[in-house]
Structure 1
Amino acid sequence: MYTASCLCGAIQLKINTDIPKIFVCHCQQCQKAQGSAFVAIAPIHTQDLEILTGQEQLGEYYATENKKRVFCKICASPLFSARLDLPEIVRLRVGIINEPLNAQIASHAFTNYKAAWFEILDDHAKFPEAVC
């Protein structure tokens, strides 16, 4: 079990499952959404994610017709994304987890689009054109 929160603390989450793997996406959409070289996510079943406080502060942006990005309306922290065709899964942004996360990177997606100034130095699986 883990807890998570946005930057301002208005949204508090509880994750009722283990998180063994982190997936990293280097696509341009994720770079822009995070303001960084990549996004680090963990797929979580919606039944394992509780919104403890701040439900009214959740904002949504549809990056595509099928995928929404959920963020805090106050501090704009990205929290998770969700595909409409997979309503039972959210892709939690692991940087919002409060406790130390003992998980390993499983793979890097869209490595053909990685930021020119960022070098991937690990040996984890790399997918040049994978779906994020």
Structure 2
Amino acid sequence: MQRGPPMLHGSCLCGNIRYEIRGDPGPAYYCHCSRCRKAGGSAFASNAVVAAQDFVIVSGQDSLKTFSTKEGVHRDFCGNCGSPLISRRDALPDMVRVRMGTIDTPLQQGPGAHIYVASKADWHAIHDTLPQYPERPPAIGKR
């Protein structure tokens, strides 16, 4: 009998919102763009690309809040504790970017690249050997 992809579980800081990723996550990366820095309050965000159909809120839907930009980017977060959970783009409706820090299931592999390093925080230095891209490379987000 063949098994499907492992299911990943995640939640916000207060635990009110719980979600499942019911498929393999796609590429993961560290995003250094100014929007990710503002949304997370840190030097970068750790994101995994997931098929939108595979990301399912299993409890706490009523606590989910969304901030939307005029460019069609939507950031979903917990209205109780403020944890950022996912971001979505109108231009790429078949995928979401999950904030990896909210995934509760242990992961075997972390992000594989740094993106938007041309706009990274001046006070942060990258010390690993992962590939660095000044913007978003074509392969990320085109799932």
TM over 0.5: yes
| Percent of matched pairs sharing the same residue | 40
Contact 2:47 2:111 in 1 (8 A): no
Report 1:16-35 matches (<5 A). Answer: 16-19=22-25, 21-35=27-41
Amino acid at match of 2:83: S
The alpha carbon displacement at 1:121 in A equals 1.4
Amino acid at match of 1:126: Q
Query: Residue 84 in 1 paired to residue 102 in 2?
Result: no
Say which SS state the counterpart of residue 30 (structure 1) adopts: helix
TM-score (norm 1): 0.92
User: Which stretches of structure 1, 4 residues or more, deviate above 2 A after TM superposition?
Assistant: 18-21, 129-132
Q: C-alpha distance in 2, partners of 1:9/1:105?
A: 24
In structure 2, relative to structure 1, the CA distance for the partners of 1:37 and 1:64 (3 Å cut) is farther
Q: C-alpha distance in 1, partners of 2:99/2:135?
A: 21
Query: Residue 99 in 1 paired to residue 93 in 2?
Result: no
Amino acid at match of 2:71: E
**Could you tell me which of 14, 30, 35 is aligned with 1:8?**
14
Q: C-alpha distance in 2, partners of 1:130/1:100?
A: 27
The alpha carbon displacement at 1:61 in A equals 0.3
TM-score (norm 2): 0.85
Contact 1:8 1:74 in 2 (8 A): yes
Q: Which runs of 5+ in 1 are unaligned?
A: none
The alpha carbon displacement at 1:116 in A equals 2.1
In structure 2, relative to structure 1, the CA distance for the partners of 1:69 and 1:89 (3 Å cut) is same
Q: Which runs of 5+ in 2 are unaligned?
A: 1-6
**Could you tell me which of 111, 128, 131 is aligned with 1:122?**
128
Q: Which residue is equivalent to 1:37? A: 43
The alpha carbon displacement at 1:20 in A equals 5.9
Say which SS state the counterpart of residue 14 (structure 2) adopts: coil
Q: Which has the higher strand share?
A: 1
Contact 2:66 2:74 in 1 (8 A): yes
In structure 2, relative to structure 1, the CA distance for the partners of 1:84 and 1:16 (3 Å cut) is same
Contact 2:27 2:112 in 1 (8 A): yes
Q: RMSD of the alignment, in Å?
A: 1.6
